[in-house]
Structure 1
């Protein structure tokens, strides 16, 4: 899978990158951020996936969380994908702030017209880790997921449906109505 680098900036001795690729699961171009700590120049590092909340993009975590210093000090590669497909242009995807664009909820939809592109669960569990493992110096067996708000739903679902896949899961402010049903 080909990656296009959008940006690369030095930060706490490492590199904060943003890349784009053609997603098979989502049928559109997807952006994601990846922070490579200085340690990644010489060895593989644990991968920590961040799932953002409602209406966020890959940029929210980069610019608002101040995680870079800790990731640098602990040798963590941090990956932050966008929260939904963008530019799919499906009827109704931009009619509400809590459904459609920016609101993928990290699930695979099952009804038309959404089911061919709103497949965020498969994207973050399968496609994105395969892409990261193939293109960045990560240890695939040392993968964890953490999150905020809508992303908490995604992190919990990903971990619960895939026992043993993640070394840890952290949900900071769970928005989990689907887990309760």
Structure 2
């Protein structure tokens, strides 16, 4: 596994807010992610960890700078890891043309349609690579990991959590788009990343995954507001 480089370190609510970067083998470009680590007394102590997925147009920085989550992570003593929302600067024609597709809008899928399939593999990045990379710089208890997110990130948290119950023990979502196969921007993204075959879309639609779910019992926290743009 490639080296992880520290970009910044800031003291925050009796803990440290870090930003790291690393060359990702999964998405084929440099990726940036945040890690908040509350103070802990023992060097070998492992802490519960939540992975946060941001929404459309966000980078890793939005959640770190605007939410104030660090106060609660410090109080309850858990680590928070938050990645970027897509690959960046991979030189795909049109990657920066739309706010809801391409850069900043990876939708946490593994793209199968060209030219996106080489780099837009955010599902595998979050499930397979990010936990391993983050564990190199943070004392993560890999038996106590959860996932949560907002909007597009809520969609990602629901899908990834439902498909990987052995990895993520908790799932929470704030204003998630839980039925992307039935809304305009979801259809746009799934068509662009996965192609016209709608049978491939079902793996990335939380409502459809729930309908056929037969894994261990899950207690999912979802908080939905009526003013979300998807309802307009």
What TM-score, normalized to structure 2?
0.75
After superposition, the Cα gap between the structure-2 partners of 1:40 and 1:173, relative to the gap in structure 1 and judged at 3 Å, is farther
5+ residue gaps, structure 1: none
The one of 69, 74, 79 equivalent to 1:67 is 69
Runs of 4+ in structure 1 deviating by more than 4 angstroms, as ranges, are none
Query: Do the aligned partners of 1:14 and 1:35 also contact (CA within 8 Å) in 2?
Result: yes
After superposition, the Cα gap between the structure-2 partners of 1:40 and 1:155, relative to the gap in structure 1 and judged at 3 Å, is farther
SS at match of 1:159: helix
Q: Partner residue of 2:138?
A: 136
Query: Do the aligned partners of 1:23 and 1:30 also contact (CA within 8 Å) in 2?
Result: yes
Deviation, 1:133, is 2.1
Higher relative contact order (CA 8 A, sep 6+): 1
5+ residue gaps, structure 2: 182-204, 209-232
Deviation track 1:54-108 (CA, whole Å, cap 9, x = no partner) reads: 0001100001111111101111110010000011110111111100000000000
After superposition, the Cα gap between the structure-2 partners of 1:41 and 1:57, relative to the gap in structure 1 and judged at 3 Å, is farther
Q: Partner residue of 2:148?
A: 146
Q: Partner residue of 1:155?
A: 157
Query: Do the aligned partners of 1:40 and 1:137 also contact (CA within 8 Å) in 2?
Result: no
Q: Highest Rg: 1 or 2?
A: 2
The one of 61, 73, 78 equivalent to 1:76 is 78
CA distance in 1, matches of 2:42, 2:50: 17
Deviation, 1:163, is 2.2
CA distance in 2, matches of 1:156, 1:33: 21
The 5 Å alignment of 1:8-87 reads 8-39=9-40, 42=43, 43-87=45-89
CA distance in 1, matches of 2:41, 2:123: 27
Superposition RMSD on alpha carbons, in Å? Answer: 1.3
Deviation track 1:103-148 (CA, whole Å, cap 9, x = no partner) reads: 0000000011110100000000000011112331110110000110
Q: Partner residue of 2:109?
A: 107
